[in-house]
Structures are given as structure tokens and as C-alpha cells.
Chain A
Amino acid sequence: MTETTLQTQELRINMGPQHPSTHGVLRVELVTDGEIVKRAIPHIGYLHRCFEKHAENIDYMGVMPFVDRMDYVASMNNDMGYAMAVEKLMQVEIPKRAEYIRVIMAELNRIASHILAIGTFGLDVGTFTPFMWCFRDRELILDIFEMTSGARLLYNYLWIGGVWMDLTPGIEEKIKEFCDYFEPKIDEIDTILSYNSIFIHRTANVGIISLDTAISYGLTGPNLRGSGKKWDLRKDEPYSVYPELEFDIPVGSGEQGTVGDCWDRYIVRVREMRESLKIVRQALKQIPEGLFRAPIRKVRPPAGEAYTKVENPRGELGFYIVSDGSLKPYRVKAKSPCFTAISCLDEVSRNEMIADVVAIIGSFDIVLGEVDR
């Protein structure tokens, strides 16, 4: 009888770049020991479109369409961040009506973005029906956006100083109708997905991010709130007209497992949609008459630099703009929340199963357009 020794070695697997569960083109290099992931190294850059270089060569208004294309499922929110940064440098006052229109659009876009995240997250962990339901309802929001801005995905609707056009006649009714229609639909999502025991088994106690890790990596938005931190820029560093509106901030509490697991990050998004509906309803009631854009003749901020951040569906989107007093920005740096979220994938995925890495990436809700810019 001959003696044989079993050789073991770690196996490197490429996940992506065209893997459907990576939400775009992300390549993750997995170092595996059987089914267990030892390391998960993300490789990004496949969607790099040189946003920051482009921004140096066009005027301030011209940057806006590029900003739209960063996080392409939450264009309105992106525009708001960039517009606010330039307005801070120019020190212009925005008409109240414009602020309300912005908030309504931003919150509707937040719902559209979250519902996409929820649907695709369900798809990632193996359930198809919620995905179809979510897309059906998202379509209604896109119709509202089409009526307001003329575009379904990339709106370029928020301009520096206000918005492009006043609200279309009759759109308020349409938005109210949507709110009434959509509220019971969130209950349906809860029934079919959130409290579905198979779904809970796939997501609870998976990919736990402790609060310290989340803060050290600079996670923001639902990813941070999922780890139990009650922090939302709309409430804690209020901008626009958010102080005049009433809403709560849902946080993860480890209801089904441990604080900071995939389920917590997911449920924060579901609950945020209800809050967004609340905000939209109030804003529609309170919206005043008046100008929809400040009378700005030329966008030419004085020399200086400003950093603003807004609460996007995916976290805090920051814009650092340096102006030298000319018509073009000297430097525009976009700090993307998805970029920081995906940077902690390696630490979170260690010692998880390969199938769970898919759940973890899905729970981060990344958009590669924003990661790569």
C-alpha cells in the first residue's frame, strides 16, 4: 500500500466583470478554501469615464449632464449635490418653490432607487417575483419624471440656481395618486420578501459590519444606518427645506439576526421608502407659489473652494469644487458613497460562503457608474 498525501491549496476565482450579481461591471477576485472565501479583492475601473478630467474642460452648467451619469439610477439626487456645491461658492439664494420641487424629485428618485435595490437584491438571493413587482412600480415614477423633465433616466432637470422648468400642470395630482398607490405595495414587498423565511435565512447573520468597521471605512447612508448608527444628513446636517418636513430615520436593530447584517441594510431601505412618501406628501401640501429658478445670468463663481455633501439613496455624495474665478471649474472631485462601500468588501466577505458574497454585494447596493465615475 502506497502512502499518499492530500495536497491542499487555495483557489483563485474571478467573479465578474460580467456577472449579473455584481450590478454592473465589477470584477471580484476570490481566494477560496473550498466554499469558504478567504479574500475578496474588488477590481474596479471598467466604467471609468474620466468625469473629473472632463469637468475641468467644460463650463459649470455643462458638468451637470456628466453628474447625471454617475449614479444613473439616482440622477436627481446627484444633480442636487453638484448644484448645491456651485451655489455655495456663488452664494446665491434659491427660491423656496425651487427647493420644494428639488426635494419632491429627490425623494421620488430615492424611492425609485431603493425599489431597484430591493428588487435586484431579491434577485441576487434567488427570488424572481419581487424583482418584477418592483420594476412595475418603478415605471410609474419614471413616468412622472418623464412628464416633468422629458427624460426617463438621465434628467438634467435640476439646474444651478433652481430647476429647469416649473412643475408640469397636473403633475401634483399624478404624484399624489402614485403615493396612494404605492403605500400598500410596500406592505406587499414586506410580505413577499422582507419577512419571507427563506429570504431571512439567506440574509440574516450574513456579512455583519460592526459599527466601528463601518465608521472606519467611512460607510454612509443605509449601509451605515444598517449597522445601527442613526445618522442622516437630511436630519443631522439639514440642507434645502428638509428642516420644515417631518420624517423618521430607520436604523438596523438586528431584528432577525445581528446588527449590521445584510437583512438590516435591506430593511432600512424598505422603511426609508415609507419616510420618503411622507416627505413627498408634506412637500406637495407646503409647496409655495413663486419662481422656480433664481435669476442667474452667468454661472461664474468667485475664486475659492467648497465641499458639500447630500444624502443620496446610497449614502453621502460629496462634491469638492475648486474655482479660480473663470467659467470652468479648476477641479471637481466627487466623493462617491459606493466607492467607499465596495472598499470594505474584502474585510466583510472573509470566512463567508461564496454564495453569501453575492448577498453582501447586493446588500451594499452599489452602482458601478458611481464607483468608477
Chain B
Amino acid sequence: MRSCGDGPDPVAVRAVSPLPGASRMELLVESIAERVVNLVLDAIDINAIVSKVDVDALIDRVDVQKIIDRVDVDEIVSRVDVDQIVGRVDVEAIIERVDVEAIIGRVDIEQVIQRVDIDKLVEQTELGTIIAHSTSGVASEVLDVVRAQGVGLDDFVAKWVNRLLRRSSEDWPPGPPILVNPPLPVPALPLETSG
């Protein structure tokens, strides 16, 4: 009679063991091996082993680019339900936490305006049409041309006079200081807030 305890199925062992009595021997060896493995595992200090591993060297050997190349980002993105994520965001709460006054106070309006290409804006938008309608007139166009021609001739004459006198006017002031380098505007006083 065979016991039905833990271990390999005796029928199966008998099927692979051609010699009589071998099955019992194999069971014995197997249980001994299992016991030895358990003892070894108990004896191993995993932390000590990990502490000896040079993780940096290990990472250096990993080809991250190769891993990234194998990742199908499009596939991942296509699985993300952006609408669902956005739907879970409480925009009102975020806006309420934003200090708009502080942001505006930190914005350098002068610098922003200087970065705007007014010429391009006028040239490429309906703004140009609006300006043209509001300021159009043959007289103003003629004046613009006459004045521009005058400035051009002024420069031409000044250039030749300087050339004849063999001098440079680059260091000369272009105009009265107040008009050429106007003083910076006085910053506005902060508004008084109650409470």
C-alpha cells in the first residue's frame, strides 16, 4: 500500500523508473534536495548580496535607447483616455488657486510689446485694412513721401559733408537727450486693498 502524502505521484515515478525500488529512492533524494535548497536559501543574506552589486555599472551596461526604441509610444498614447483624465480635473479649483495679480505683476509688459512684430502683424492681418481705412488719404500719403524723401536727402548730404571733411559723426548725439532717450515712466502706485 502506498501512502498518498506530498511528493511525486508514485504511478508517474513508476512509469519513468525502469528499475524496481527506484521510485522510493528518488523520492528520498528529492526530499533531501528540497530540504538542502531550503536550508541554503535561509542561509543566504539577500541584502548583503545586493549591497555588493554595482548598480551603476549594471545601468551603464543597459542600452536605454534600445529599450525606448522598442516601446510603441503611439500605442500607449492611443490607450490613454484624455477626455476621462480632463474630466477628472477640477479646473475651477485650479483657477481659484492661481494668483492672477501676482502673475500680472511679474509680467514685463514693455518686454512683451517689444517682442511683438508690429510690422508683420499689420501686414498679415485685417488690422492693416483697419488702419488703411482709418488713416487713408492722398494728402497723408504725399506728406509721408515728401518727408521720407527729405530725410533721405538729409542723410545723403550729411554723409557727403562728413566724407569731404574726413570725419565721422557716429559719436554725435542724434538729438536732444529728452527726445532721443526719454526718461522711464514712473511706475504706478499699487492699489490699496481693504482687509
Asked if A and B are interacting partners, one says: no
Binding site for A on B (CB under 8 A): none
Binding site for B on A (CB under 8 A): none
